[in-house]
Amino acid sequence: MIYVIFATSCNDNVIEDIDNNMTEYQKENKSRSNKENIYMEQTDHIAMLTRLVWFDKGSSKYILALSKEDAYKMGFTLNEYLSVENYVKTLNQIKVLHK
């Protein structure tokens, strides 16, 4: 007796391969609205910018190793840059105690 269970979500197609017991996920970008795509792109850009946040041991502060001008030249928006800049300010306000 063989049972096949299909599970779906609003963003994924799930295909069950009975012979190999492997599940394959295929993402559908067609269903995303334009606003969702813009949000995901901004989220990716912010994640890239946060990778440029460094901890300066000399001053014991976090710094963003990219200026506004350089970020603009690289294709980042002012809103994305300011979001990460505020993140860095918040990190510097938090005092972390190491044992």
CA distance 49 to 51: 5
The rounded mean pLDDT for the chain is 71
CA distance 72 to 77: 6
User: Mean pLDDT over residues 26-32, rounded?
Assistant: 49
Residue 15 has pLDDT above 60, yes or no: no
Q: Are 80 and 45 in contact (CB under 8 A)?
A: yes
Instruction: Find the distance separating the first CA and the last CA of the chain, reported in whole Å.
Output: 59
User: Mean pLDDT over residues 28-55, rounded?
Assistant: 70
Amino acid at 56: D
| Global pTM value | 0.53
Kindly state the percentage of the chain with pLDDT values over 90. 8
